[in-house]
Structure 1
Amino acid sequence: MIDARDSALNLSLTGTDAAKAMNAGDGKVGDWYIERAKFIPVRLTLKERKYLRLLEAALNVSEYTDKIDILTYANKTRRQVAQIQELCSIISGLVLAADYKVGQQLFKERNFEDNQEFFRDIFELGRRHKIMNPEKMRNVYGKMIYMLQDSQIPEVQDTLSFSLVGPIKTVYKELEKGGALELLKDDLIVAATKEILSGKEGGGSRNQIQKEIKAKERAIEILGRRYSNAKMTADDIKQCLYSIGDNHAFLRTNRDPCDKMIEYLKKYFHPDRSEGEYSLAIQAGRGGARLSHDHKKQYNYVLQSLTLWREIMHDMFMLWGLAESDLLDETNSYRLRDTGQGLNRMQAAPKTSRLMHTILHRAQQRVGYWVGSSVIHMGDTNVPNALMFIDKYTQIYRILLPIVRCLESIQDLSDNNEGLSRYFDDTFDGPDNLRLLILSDFFRHAFDGSGADNFFSAGSCIDGRLTSAWNWCSMIEKKPYFHVFLVSGFVGFDGEVSS
């Protein structure tokens, strides 16, 4: 029997929140995993991935929102039902083409109502995949959610005679259904779900990485045997463990860049230090800024903004689950309105809003006090519904990750390339000054209240901070250090190659 604190399973190397808490003696491993598992979607199986490709193909050719979200006097319920049935027909045809035998079993002499569970599962796995992978399904997820939202309207549901919306399959629900919840309290779960990092990502040597891989595989095998039963196989247990591991990878990619930027801010721009050349002070009307802050005030403004983003990314799975709950609530209707950015579905998001205010309060407690507005736009012309809110905040890592990667690569580029070293020295007075130039410019003008369509929508509100950051990103090609981003491997803040 392997104990979780076996030297071969050194928990200090995992880098997970649970491991850090255990090593600090701040609690039991189960406390973190039980709460977290309630919102961690289960990783898709190979069979589910096949159906995911069919779902994406069907959504790609569907013109659902183009035909529904328009101003017309035609009967909307009839159009919604027709478009939903058409999409289900496309999926049915693709399933039949991909696997004739399965297709025959599902659809021969059966109507949509008879296959309610099949369609519900198809759309559930699409939703589940998107939550775990925000960068995926970018062109079709919104279309799918709006279609599901319409399918929940009582008039539409009565006409369809079947429901397309089911609960998201989470790690906690699967373990509870399989009678294996004790798995989440087993200390060995830390080693079984840790993320193995390469040397470039902060991992150890090659030998150390090999040891960690073997220890992880060993822990997974033990837990699979220990908690499998008549309701849940060892492979099902492993799938849940892999899903928790995916959660760690999500946090490292999406949340940890916030921590890194907070670290840079505190290290180089602390308000107790002399402002000097790299002061963070901004003044309304200069450089596009719409706020006026001295160095200390801007430091605190940036710190609280990054801290808030960090807390949002930490609880993104929970936020996403509540956002979908608000969107797909059959008692929570929407209205189509022109928000100044085209026709949008305006809908209240009470559950998402409550959690967001809780997160904001937690961030305020961490930084001590608040600079600027604490207004959270939700269900108004700025952020019409919960989908728009989620889409807005899943962009945080797209902004911060390329910046962190560029900053971390500057010294290596200078050390390993003589030409780049001379370029950094001649143009920016060395790698250290180059790093400070990029950071100071970002901390000043990515948080200066700019970027909104009009003066009244700009400023220091919660969503305005992210708008300012996107505005800074849109001007990256005009920055004197843009070529440094390019040589560091930068391909754009939206994942597309810059021209």
Structure 2
Amino acid sequence: MPKMTGARNEALAGLLDADEEGPLGEDDGLSKVAYEEHMARVQAEADAQDKARRLAVAQQQLAEYAAQKEEDAAALLRDAQALARSVGGGQEGGEGLRAATGLGARVEALKNRLAQAAAEAKAYAAQHREDMERSKRSSAQADLPSDDVDMKRPRENGVAKDDEELSDAVTDSDDEDSIEESTMCSSSSSFAERCKYIPLRLSYEERNKLRLLEAALNVSEYTDKVDILSWERRTARVHKQIQKICSILSGLVVAQDYRQGQRLIQSREFCDNARYFQTIFEIGRRYKIMNPDKMRAEYGKMTYMLMDSTDDNIQELLEFRCVAPLKTVSSLLKEKNALQMLQDPMMERATAEIVASDRPRYEIQRDIKAKERAREVIAQKYSSRYGVSRDDILLCLYSISDNNSFLLYNRDPVDRMIKYLTTFFKPDSYDPGFSLSISAGSAGARLSHSHERQYHYVHQTLTLWREISNDMFKLWFLADLDLLDSENCYRLTDTGQGLNRVQQAPRVRKAVFEIIDRCQRRIGHWVGSSVVHLGDHNVPNALMFIDKYTQVPRILNPVVLALEEMPKLYRTPHLRQYIDNAFGSLEDCIKTVLVDFFRHAFDGSGADNFFDAGSCIDGRLTSAWNWCNKIEKKDYHHIFKLAGLVGFDGDFK
């Protein structure tokens, strides 16, 4: 009897193993039919969700358009009332003229028509606002995707405990409402708030592990093998590819350090080396946040692999969890009971970014020495008081300084573009030939704005980009949580740009809406749509969202550098003659570039419909990227080449 049971178990195991690799021969046709039915159902669900999302966006955009028209009608009515009052005030002296022309009656009729139009616009806007709110409520009740509904599909017997540990590493990162709303740079105004999201700089040993990770990911074909439509079981493909990456890593460790590699592969079980693999993947995630221009090809593979590793079935096969909490400045200081250091008044000087620009050398040296002294004072003070090592304190200070360097490269170009806008242009007037107005259908524009409206539209867009760049470390940290949340599933969908992982990002969405709200309250008004594409076919997941906004400095930096280089080029006699002949003067050359950029990098172009482009939050960046693609056709392209323009793509090495 035991022998028969053993044979039966072996046969069952054989069937299961065969099922892992693919359907059996006689059931091949049936399995393919079942697979095709399953894929048809998945595609139908994806199409329904996409249509629901498009409808929600259209309703919101229509409501915002109606609200804008309500404001315009109210402004016209106020002008008509003012005109009527001024005409009525001169009745004593101009009775004969008015009787001849009927001016007073015409003005009164115009005022009445405008009053009626304003009332209709107000009612129309109120109706669409109510319809939009009703649609959101009904979508929430029906569990359909909308701006306020996070499409979460909890897994049975999930690993909620591990996810809680991952979230705890953010030091209550889900409580993003601790953002101070009193200033535009709220999260940066407090070191304690900033340091929750600032990763620790890599040590020498960690950099060696990073090189191993990059080498393993470089030869991996993970997404090519996993993110495909196939009748083979996805779980088996994912498990095989993760094991392959871990095997490559183990082999590279042996090649680099034989003794360490010997210890690593001694047990021949990946689960026994879980801590090592968690550490090396955490190093890669931390390094990417600090250096967005690095690992541009490898990081996506690693993130998607870690997304799959959070699946219950994959964890059961691997027997360990690949994801560990990110190490931050705040987490290290909290572990050492030294969070009080972040309140020290010398922290600003000890971590400040020293900008050379055109300053004298002695001033730069003075600032460097002051920064070094402040750093030494803090290290000495808190290493003796709290028992934390001097190296740990310096590591935290260096990490914060790295964040300031990041802001210098990513946020400061936006500040300089805002300065160019406010210096060369005014909202209520413009020089002949330098109007910012755009008209739909002209030069590829999809929006129609007067000079004043376009000025405010550009200003608020740049302000929004500045705030997103300012909070980029926080957004990236929250994106990491959203992407690797085991309860936040994704679906593989054809978005029109190939197969993509469509996944909701509730933490990132909340943070972005807080930034938009902060900008709206600071600016006082809003031009265009406030729709945020996230978790749809335009921006499938949080990784795509973050990658999209890392393009902002790559777009603005070349423009800013070219504008700053133009006065230097103008000092050369031959280039001075060229600029004067082509543009009239140096100032006209600069204004020509700025007018074209502020008009056509913010004109709603880049797609053939208002869902994919337009005045929505993400459509503004789409228009800017579309402008970059047409730079070769601009009259001033030669000036950009002389100023050193190479491209807007950055470095992929």
| TM-score > 0.5 by shorter chain | yes
How big is the shift at 1:372? 1.0
Write the deviation string for residues 212-238 of structure 1: whole angstroms up to 9, x where unpaired.
111111221221121126863211111
Counterpart of 2:647?
492
Is residue 293–residue 650 contact of structure 2 (8 Å, CA) maintained in 1?
A: no
Is residue 199–residue 205 contact of structure 1 (8 Å, CA) maintained in 2?
A: no
How big is the shift at 1:458? 2.5
Question: Structure 2: which amino acid aligns with 1:62?
Answer: S
Which residue, 222, 225, 229 being the options, matches 1:64?
A: 222
Counterpart of 2:272?
114
How big is the shift at 1:167? 0.9
Q: Which moved more, 1:103-112 or 1:92-101?
A: 103-112
Is residue 199–residue 206 contact of structure 1 (8 Å, CA) maintained in 2?
A: no
Counterpart of 1:96?
254
Residue 136 of structure 1 pairs with residue 287 of structure 2: no
Residue 436 of structure 1 pairs with residue 436 of structure 2: no
Is residue 30–residue 186 contact of structure 1 (8 Å, CA) maintained in 2?
A: no
Is residue 407–residue 435 contact of structure 1 (8 Å, CA) maintained in 2?
A: yes
Change (3 A) 1:39 1:158: same
- Structure 1 residues 41-190: aligned runs within 5 Å: 41-190=199-348
Change (3 A) 1:218 1:150: same
Counterpart of 2:502?
346
Change (3 A) 1:374 1:31: closer
How big is the shift at 1:266? 1.2
Q: Distance in 1 between matches of 2:245 and 2:262?
A: 18
Indicate the SS of the match to 2:493. strand
Counterpart of 2:379?
224
Q: Distance in 1 between matches of 2:651 and 2:468?
A: 25
How big is the shift at 1:138? 0.4
Counterpart of 2:582?
427
Indicate the SS of the match to 2:202. coil
Root-mean-square deviation over aligned CA pairs: 1.9
- Structure 1 residues 409-420: aligned runs within 5 Å: 409-415=565-571, 417-420=572-575
Indicate the SS of the match to 2:429. coil
Is residue 38–residue 173 contact of structure 1 (8 Å, CA) maintained in 2?
A: yes
Write the deviation string for residues 187-223 of structure 1: whole angstroms up to 9, x where unpaired.
11111111122234xxx31011111111111221221
Counterpart of 2:547?
391
Is residue 448–residue 468 contact of structure 1 (8 Å, CA) maintained in 2?
A: yes
Residue 280 of structure 1 pairs with residue 436 of structure 2: yes
Which residue, 476, 489, 504 being the options, matches 1:333?
A: 489
Which residue, 366, 370, 375 being the options, matches 2:526?
A: 370
Residue 478 of structure 1 pairs with residue 636 of structure 2: no
- Structure 1 residues 243-322: aligned runs within 5 Å: 243-322=399-478
Question: Structure 1: which amino acid aligns with 2:315?
Answer: Q
Indicate the SS of the match to 2:433. helix
Change (3 A) 1:414 1:449: same
Q: Distance in 1 between matches of 2:258 and 2:371?
A: 40
Structure 1 unmatched ranges of 5 or more: 1-25
Question: Structure 1: which amino acid aligns with 2:199?
Answer: P
Is residue 293–residue 651 contact of structure 2 (8 Å, CA) maintained in 1?
A: no
Q: Distance in 1 between matches of 2:195 and 2:588?
A: 44
Question: Structure 1: which amino acid aligns with 2:250?
Answer: S
Q: Distance in 1 between matches of 2:441 and 2:349?
A: 53
Change (3 A) 1:286 1:388: same
How big is the shift at 1:41? 0.6
Indicate the SS of the match to 2:354. coil
Counterpart of 2:603?
448
Q: Distance in 1 between matches of 2:327 and 2:612?
A: 38
Indicate the SS of the match to 2:547. helix
Is residue 275–residue 295 contact of structure 1 (8 Å, CA) maintained in 2?
A: no
How big is the shift at 1:174? 0.6
Question: Structure 2: which amino acid aligns with 1:196?
Answer: I
Counterpart of 2:395?
239
Counterpart of 2:562?
406
Identity among equivalent pairs (%): 57
Q: Distance in 2 between matches of 1:438 and 1:459?
A: 22
Question: Structure 2: which amino acid aligns with 1:205?
Answer: P
Write the deviation string for residues 39-95 of structure 1: whole angstroms up to 9, x where unpaired.
111111111111111101100000000000000010100110110010011011111
Change (3 A) 1:212 1:358: same
Q: Which moved more, 1:182-191 or 1:148-157?
A: 182-191
Q: Distance in 1 between matches of 2:468 and 2:582?
A: 38
Corresponding pairs, count: 468
Q: Distance in 2 between matches of 1:138 and 1:253?
A: 18
Structure 2 unmatched ranges of 5 or more: 1-183
Indicate the SS of the match to 1:219. helix
Change (3 A) 1:456 1:109: closer
Counterpart of 1:198?
356
* TM-score for the superposition, normalised by structure 2: 0.70
Q: Which moved more, 1:138-147 or 1:188-197?
A: 188-197
Q: Distance in 1 between matches of 2:388 and 2:265?
A: 29
Is residue 31–residue 185 contact of structure 1 (8 Å, CA) maintained in 2?
A: no
Which structure has the larger Rg?
2
Question: Structure 2: which amino acid aligns with 1:208?
Answer: E
Write the deviation string for residues 297-322 of structure 1: whole angstroms up to 9, x where unpaired.
11111111111111111111111111
Is residue 200–residue 328 contact of structure 2 (8 Å, CA) maintained in 1?
A: yes
Q: Which moved more, 1:488-497 or 1:378-387?
A: 488-497
* TM-score for the superposition, normalised by structure 1: 0.91
Indicate the SS of the match to 1:387. helix
Q: Distance in 1 between matches of 2:189 and 2:412?
A: 22
Write the deviation string for residues 310-365 of structure 1: whole angstroms up to 9, x where unpaired.
11111111111111111100011100000111100011111111111111111111
Change (3 A) 1:275 1:281: farther
